[in-house]
Structure 1
Amino acid sequence: MADVLDEVYAVIADRKVNPQEGSYTTSLYNHRKGIDKVLEKIGEESTELIIAAKNGGEKEIIGECADLFFHAMVLLAAKDIPFEKIKGEFERRRK
């Protein structure tokens, strides 16, 4: 699983320095609200995950969780925090 998350993060980080027209990730970085738009999306996706967990099935929960992970990764890249540091934190906590 880490491999696919690493790949997704790499694309997200690349969109920051190499914007591509039509890219959803690029649109988040270029939004007039700036980082506030990314934070807004994290809040929205968190709420949707909670609702899915309460009322939805497995498919909805998985989809909303993936959406939340994605937007959290956009935040990390926006703040220049390498994904490796998050993985390192999980490793530290596992010990």
Structure 2
Amino acid sequence: MDVLDELFDVIESRKADLPEDSYTTRLFTHEKGENYVLEKLGEETTEVILAAKDDDTEELAAESADLVYHLLVLLSMKGMDLDDLRAELEARR
């Protein structure tokens, strides 16, 4: 299992258990619902772009990780998983 699989498993676990002290729980239970995660994706995308523009590779890696995390949360919200993403990427190869 790689780090993305592990992260997705944690996201799925948080979705099922909704521990109170979890940021992921807050994403799943926010009053704005899915729109909150979509806003976070937009925010993280902007931060990735700015880090790339500034040639800040350390910040680019950090913001890219944030972007991927929020994307995985959205996939989970939509009932999708990494296999769905892998299948699409493989189909494009």
TM-score of Structure 1 vs Structure 2, range by shorter chain: over 0.9
Aligned ranges for residues 19-58 of structure 1 at < 5 Å? 19-58=18-57
Residue 13 of structure 1: aligned partner: 12
The CA distance in 1 between the partners of 2:23 and 2:78, in whole Å, is 18
Once superposed, which parts of structure 1, at least 4 consecutive aligned residues long, lie more than 4 Å away?
Answer: none
The CA distance in 1 between the partners of 2:17 and 2:4, in whole Å, is 19
TM-score (norm 1): 0.92
SS of the counterpart of 1:21? Answer: coil
How many residue pairs match? The answer is: 93
SS of the counterpart of 2:2? Answer: helix
Q: Which runs of 5+ in 1 are unaligned?
A: none
1:82 offset after TM fit, Å?
1.6
Q: Alpha carbon RMSD of aligned pairs, Å?
A: 1.1
